[in-house]
Structure 1
Amino acid sequence: MLKKEVLFLIIQFVLFSFYFIDIEVISYSIPSWLNYILLSLVGCGFVIIFLGILNLNDDLSVIHAKKEKPMVFHGIYRYVRHPIYSGILLSMIAYALFTASIFKFILTLIMGVVFYYKSDNEENWMVEKYEQYRIYKKKTGRFLPKLRNKNY
């Protein structure tokens, strides 16, 4: 399992590295008013990342949560299971649109797939470690908040 996690980290690193290279595939322009919205979304992404890190406190780990720590259900984790990934993806997609970069947009989509499989791998580990994680998964969205069902 550790090999898979290291592979995910390497893929993330490579994608992030390519993201900061400007390659123009197709050029397009967007209205200037939309640029303000997109920059605001980049900022929102950074706030989401910050809240995710803040709520984890000292339990932030590149690979797994620290074994002796209780699971985090508070703060932004009440709404999404992987807010750091959500914030990264929001910032990346908004910035890709802001810079009118199809290349960055495609890299963001690929990163979304990587985060999906990486989070799936992490969640399998969390289900083994925390019995309440199955219930948490049903109530909470992976990257976006779930619309609440009145039966909950």
Structure 2
Amino acid sequence: MSIPRKDKIYVLLQFLVFIGWLFDVESLKFQISENLHSLGFLAAAIGFLLILVALVQIGSKISPFPSPPENARLKTTGAFAFARHPIYSGVLFIVFGAALWLGSGFKLLISLLLYLIFFLKSRYEERRLLEKFSEYAEYRNDTGRFFPKFKGRI
């Protein structure tokens, strides 16, 4: 199976944004309280753990490309019961948390750009998953994209 061109474009954009995140602009640095500093570190640590759990669940089926491989199975348990894209969620926790921890406005802006790319990439990926798995529509309605859906009344 050849990799669709759109898949390659999304992965390239994602890679370029990751590279951009490694840089910083001194004039966009900011000071934060110790509590926010700790919160940023905690968010990054949670993201790292979320990625590890999702990777263990996916196993050797992991791919950076959004189109599901022919032999793919729909995963709806574990980390995937809370978010349809837990690896993207984990990455977002890491980049936003680390940007806050480091007090970097530039990294926060790049993190927002990454969120946008993940949103668009996941929309495309979900169209492909709907084509492959009839049960994906119900799973999508019951499960949040990057964060859990809160159902019921508070």
Q: What is the match of residue 52 of structure 1?
A: 54
Aligned-partner Cα distance in 2 for 1:25–1:75? 42
Q: What is the match of residue 17 of structure 2?
A: 15
Aligned-partner Cα distance in 2 for 1:62–1:37? 29
Is residue 25–residue 101 contact of structure 1 (8 Å, CA) maintained in 2? Answer: no
Moved more, 4-13 or 62-71: 62-71
Q: What is the match of residue 137 of structure 2?
A: 134
Aligned-partner Cα distance in 2 for 1:149–1:31? 35
Is residue 40–residue 100 contact of structure 2 (8 Å, CA) maintained in 1? Answer: yes
Unaligned ranges ≥5, structure 2 = none
The number of aligned residues is: 150
> Does residue 1:92 correspond to 2:86, yes or no?
no
Q: What is the match of residue 112 of structure 2?
A: 109
TM-score (norm 1): 0.92
Q: What is the match of residue 25 of structure 1?
A: 27
Aligned-partner Cα distance in 2 for 1:28–1:62? 33
> Does residue 1:34 correspond to 2:36, yes or no?
yes
Letter in 2 for 1:20: L
Aligned-partner Cα distance in 2 for 1:117–1:34? 29
Call closer, same or farther: CA 1:36–1:118 in 2, change over 3 Å.
same
Of all paired residues, the percent bearing the same amino acid is 28
Aligned-partner Cα distance in 1 for 2:32–2:115? 24
1:25 aligned counterpart, secondary structure: helix
1:128 aligned counterpart, secondary structure: helix
Query: What's the offset of the Cα at 1:27?
Result: 3.1
Aligned-partner Cα distance in 2 for 1:65–1:59? 9
Task: Note the aligned Cα RMSD (angstroms).
Answer: 1.5
Selected match of 1:69 from 69, 72, 75? 72
Deviations along 1:22-72, one digit per CA (max 9) or x if unpaired, are: 222323211123222211111000011111111112221222333223211
Instruction: Extract structure 1 runs of 4+ deviating beyond 6 A.
Output: none
Letter in 2 for 1:115: F
Unaligned ranges ≥5, structure 1 = none
Query: What's the offset of the Cα at 1:92?
Result: 0.3
Aligned-partner Cα distance in 2 for 1:77–1:138? 13
